[in-house]
Structure 1
Amino acid sequence: DASTDARDWLITLRPGVTFHDGKPLTAQDAAASLARASHALDGLEDIRVVADHQLRLRLRAGNTGLPIALSDARLAILPEENPETALLSGNGTGRYRQIDATGLRFVADPSHYLSDNTGWFDRIDATHTAAKDVQTALRDGEVDLIDHADPMAMALLGRHPRLKVLATRSNQHLRIGVEGAESTVLVSALKRGLDRQLLVDHWLAGYGVAGADHPVPPSGHVPSAGYDPDHARHLLACAGVTHAMVSLSAELVSQPGTDRLLSFLAASARAIGLTLSPATESNRGAPELRLSLARGGPTADATLAAFPRAGLSRPDAFDGLLTAARIAPTSAERRMLLHDAQTMIADEATTHVPAFPDLVLAHSRRLIPAPSGPGPVTSARIAERWAFA
């Protein structure tokens, strides 16, 4: 239940839910968990327990999308006492219970309140396997499903008669942030100097979609700058920009296929008169391209709120659009406000988004997939949603 201005929310918990150690779930547990993870819930001002299974949340500003925001996987509910121990031991309220210290083996909880409707596997064994070995493990039948493999390898696995590849659109996106002198010119040149669809094909084997320079998955409402290498070359020549450094986030360094991404960017840059080199102490002072992979939030406004604001001429106006969108009375008005916020990012921000990688799984055909969520392995609920044929 929400107040008319969507600032105050009364949350009622399902009764009869227990943690895996047998302790009943209470509002105190939920309140303590939300307080610990408040960084993942933008705008939370106050949490109050009002009954054993009810708590009241107060936001700094109204947000009609709060129920969706509460579905964020980072907002895991743990016991109020010793939450760190519970996290390590897997003492949660899910359909599957952790049975060893590695956190990789789980069994179905027969007393779970959803035991008649979800969770069709008796046991789940997860394994950490080197990227170069995961395809072999799946082909040889050692595992039933893999993720986080090279998209090129996934494409080849899809040709195997006993295997199937499942690609799901996601809000994960590639960010290219530009820092240093002439950052505005360099961003404009890169937007026009990258063939986005070719980037998706070369880097991701087609498992993705071209972006439009903002972090909300593309819907066609905000057009991209358009591929125009001649214009890009002209912009750089007029500004006298000929060189830039490149640095990678830790997640991108470990991402399979990053070598193809870098080679594509280097070739695209050369075509518009720009030389790229790894960021080192010796070339500090040159403009820097910071490449990273980021996941969007559970809602479009949360995704936009977390995006870098560098370059925006009116950041207060941008924040005002997000605030207004959260309390918009109709979905049409909300879409219009978010469209304006996306346009500001696409036109002005010095970080741009050229591509959205799909979330790609490969699995044995003896598995029956279920509708996927926005996160890895269907938002970590694959054991509840999938089944054997």
Structure 2
Amino acid sequence: MTKIPTNWTGRDDAMVEQMIRRGASRRELLKMLMSSGVAAAAGGSLLMRAGAAVAATPVSGGSLKAAGWSSSTADTLDPAKASLSTDYVRCCAFYNRLTFLDEAGQVQMELADSVASDDAQTWEVKLKSGVTFHDGKTLSADDVVFSLKRHLDEAVGSKVNSIAKQMTEISKVDDLTVKIVLSAPNADLPTILSLHHFMIIADGTTDFSKANGTGAFICEAFEPGVRSVAVKNPNYFKAEGPYLDSFEFFAIPDNNARVNALLSGDIQLAASVNPRSMRMLEGQDSVMTSVTTAGNYTNLNIRLDLEPGAKADFVEGMKYLVNREMIQKSVLRGFAEIGNDQPVSAANRYHNPNLAPRAFDPEKAKYHFEKAGLLGTEIPMVASDAASSSVDMATVVQQAGSQIGMNLKVERVPSDGYWSNYWLKAPVHFGNINPRPTPDILFSLLYSSDAPWNESQYKSEKFDSMMVEARGALDEEKRTAMYWEMQEMIANEAGTIIPAYISNVDAVSSKLGGLKANPLGGMMGYAFAEYVWLNA
């Protein structure tokens, strides 16, 4: 066993921490330790301990540059219309929600002091007092009523309109109290209010160019599809944070370019790094990785209302043609869990563990393609770097198809404009869905007949009625059974193929502290800017 010299003390630990803060390299520190009689193994342990201590101590000041993987000229500062990770990052910085989810998935209060109900149908929201917007206006119940009611206005185009529709009454009780009545009981309301779209804006807001919120940062510049610059809010209502003076956020769609920007020090956070890039990061003391497996997935969508998806046998054939294990091991380099064609991952307590993934069976796939009369017909699959790892997944499916005479053509299109021009529109295309905390939110957004993001145009009256019933079920056993059955319906009836739940890997500078996993997705559920800091 390697021993540390008996004269090595906690005071010397503190000295190492101080040297790390001053920018000493790992090599310099090890040389110093070894010259003091500390063996290499013990020195490495000391550095790890000191480094962890440095990383865990919040430091105020500094400017951060972070890069996501996709952006669009349709980027918005309107929380109701947010649809990309870049939108979510900005919304989390400039606005606040009534509630938020911590790293354990537990509901915490943010702008609300409490969200309570006796029957899960009529809710009372008590607000924190003394909170101000960036323009100096004091937060009141009027702002909450206005913010929530916007989602019910079809003209607004809210991405959570179908979820918000259950709120049949949203009214002011007094300046700091709001009453929300639901069409039916829903015990998930405090969790629903933590979604990025339910950020609170000032009463009467129509201009979203300035992002006038209560958030930790004030918007200094916003160029859709280009970048955003934020500066610290000096009047932020929380006792802790933000620690950064400012941060800039933009997209670098090319994965290798994003990683190289991190390695060169041009950025301090590279979001959603492709598993193929892990080798670029190996042995690099200047970077670390943050891994979150919360239910993010890239899926192959086949629209059931268009050819070739209108032929049930084509959809069935494609489900047998997707080699999930190869995608998990080769495409995602093991940073994933095998999926079973429905959106509720194993990270969720309502996940159905008895629903086995469809086996890879090219012969069965061939049988169904022949039955559909499509074997040999050229079928385009639209993929893009905007949908993480979709190009590689498409290649795996294409190669499997070529072995049985199925002519699947990979159409790789640019990231810019992918979500507005191809997603939800092309007959066969890939999507990328961020984690959501409850099955009801996933089903409402993606699978109900009126879902705004119904990727395969799946429509089932039975599914719709079960979704409403499960939402109000206070009996956990009954609710779980219904959610399990609904997952089976999606896996067997919808045209969405979900081969794996992807572990999101954010690569960050070793100088970045405070980043944690979050059930709402990578980059700390997109709220990283408020909680991280930079060590000198």
> Is the TM-score greater than 0.5?
yes
Q: Deviations over 1:232-254 (max 9, x none)?
A: 223333443313523437xx453
**TM-aligned CA deviation for residue 91 of structure 1:** 1.7
- Partner of residue 207 from structure 1, selected from 311, 322, 335: 335
**Residues 125 and 264 from structure 1, CA distance in 2 versus in 1: closer, same or farther, beyond 3 angstroms?**
same
The 5 A counterparts of 1:72-87 are 72-81=195-204, 83-85=205-207, 87=208
Q: TM-score, normalised by structure 1?
A: 0.86
The 5 A counterparts of 1:234-273 are 234-242=367-375, 243=377, 245-248=379-382, 252=384, 254-255=386-387, 257-273=389-405
Q: Which amino acid aligns with 2:490?
A: I
Question: Counterpart of 2:276?
Answer: 152
1:161 aligns with 2:276: no
- Partner of residue 351 from structure 1, selected from 481, 496, 516: 496
Q: Deviations over 1:253-308 (max 9, x none)?
A: 534644322211211222343111368xxxxxxx9423222335442111022224
Question: Counterpart of 1:284?
Answer: none
Q: In structure 1, the residue corresponding to 2:276 is in which secondary structure?
A: helix
Separation in 2 of the partners of 1:245 and 1:345? 23
Structure 1 contact 154–362 (Cα < 8 Å) conserved: no
**TM-aligned CA deviation for residue 166 of structure 1:** 1.7
Question: How many residues are treated as equivalent by the alignment?
Answer: 375
Q: TM-score, normalised by structure 2?
A: 0.64
Structure 1 contact 244–288 (Cα < 8 Å) conserved: no
Question: Counterpart of 1:283?
Answer: none
Q: Which amino acid aligns with 1:224?
A: P
Question: Counterpart of 1:107?
Answer: 231
Question: Counterpart of 1:96?
Answer: 217
Q: In structure 2, the residue corresponding to 1:197 is in which secondary structure?
A: helix
- Partner of residue 307 from structure 1, selected from 446, 455, 461: 446
Cα RMSD, aligned residues only = 2.7
1:188 aligns with 2:325: no
Q: Deviations over 1:158-216 (max 9, x none)?
A: 44222112221133323323342563212222222211121133333333322101111
Separation in 2 of the partners of 1:288 and 1:48? 43
Separation in 1 of the partners of 2:369 and 2:180? 50
Separation in 2 of the partners of 1:214 and 1:350? 10
Structure 2 contact 274–505 (Cα < 8 Å) conserved: no
1:125 aligns with 2:248: yes
**TM-aligned CA deviation for residue 13 of structure 1:** 1.4
The 5 A counterparts of 1:224-235 are 224-235=357-368
Separation in 2 of the partners of 1:216 and 1:318? 15
**Residues 224 and 137 from structure 1, CA distance in 2 versus in 1: closer, same or farther, beyond 3 angstroms?**
same
- Partner of residue 364 from structure 1, selected from 509, 513, 516: 509
Q: Which amino acid aligns with 2:262?
A: L
**TM-aligned CA deviation for residue 125 of structure 1:** 3.0
**Residues 107 and 221 from structure 1, CA distance in 2 versus in 1: closer, same or farther, beyond 3 angstroms?**
farther
Q: Deviations over 1:82-138 (max 9, x none)?
A: x243x3213211122223455733233343221x33323233233444525322221
- Partner of residue 527 from structure 2, selected from 367, 381, 384: 381
Structure 1 contact 158–165 (Cα < 8 Å) conserved: no
Q: Deviations over 1:346-368 (max 9, x none)?
A: 12223332223332210011222
Separation in 2 of the partners of 1:101 and 1:239? 49
Q: In structure 2, the residue corresponding to 1:99 is in which secondary structure?
A: strand
**Residues 312 and 79 from structure 1, CA distance in 2 versus in 1: closer, same or farther, beyond 3 angstroms?**
closer
- Partner of residue 130 from structure 2, selected from 16, 35, 58: 16
Separation in 2 of the partners of 1:370 and 1:295? 17
Structure 1 contact 312–344 (Cα < 8 Å) conserved: no
Separation in 2 of the partners of 1:15 and 1:254? 41
Separation in 1 of the partners of 2:331 and 2:192? 31
Question: Counterpart of 2:184?
Answer: 61
**TM-aligned CA deviation for residue 320 of structure 1:** 2.5
1:290 aligns with 2:290: no
Q: Which amino acid aligns with 2:117?
A: A
Q: Which amino acid aligns with 2:369?
A: L
**Residues 167 and 296 from structure 1, CA distance in 2 versus in 1: closer, same or farther, beyond 3 angstroms?**
closer
Structure 2 contact 273–504 (Cα < 8 Å) conserved: no
Identity among equivalent pairs (%): 23
Separation in 1 of the partners of 2:146 and 2:273? 37
- Larger radius of gyration, structure 1 or 2? 2
* Deviating more after overlay: 336-345 vs 158-167: 158-167
Q: In structure 1, the residue corresponding to 2:196 is in which secondary structure?
A: coil
Q: Which amino acid aligns with 2:298?
A: L
**TM-aligned CA deviation for residue 29 of structure 1:** 0.9
1:141 aligns with 2:250: no
Structure 1 contact 30–78 (Cα < 8 Å) conserved: yes
Separation in 2 of the partners of 1:94 and 1:120? 13
Separation in 1 of the partners of 2:457 and 2:528? 40
- Stretches of structure 2 that go unaligned for 5 or more consecutive residues are 1-115, 153-157, 412-425, 450-455
- Stretches of structure 1 that go unaligned for 5 or more consecutive residues are 280-286
Q: Which amino acid aligns with 1:327?
A: G
Separation in 2 of the partners of 1:70 and 1:17? 18
Q: Deviations over 1:311-348 (max 9, x none)?
A: 978x2221232222222224333222111111111122
Runs of 4+ more than 4 Å apart: 309-313
**Residues 226 and 256 from structure 1, CA distance in 2 versus in 1: closer, same or farther, beyond 3 angstroms?**
closer
Separation in 2 of the partners of 1:263 and 1:257? 10
Q: In structure 2, the residue corresponding to 1:306 is in which secondary structure?
A: helix
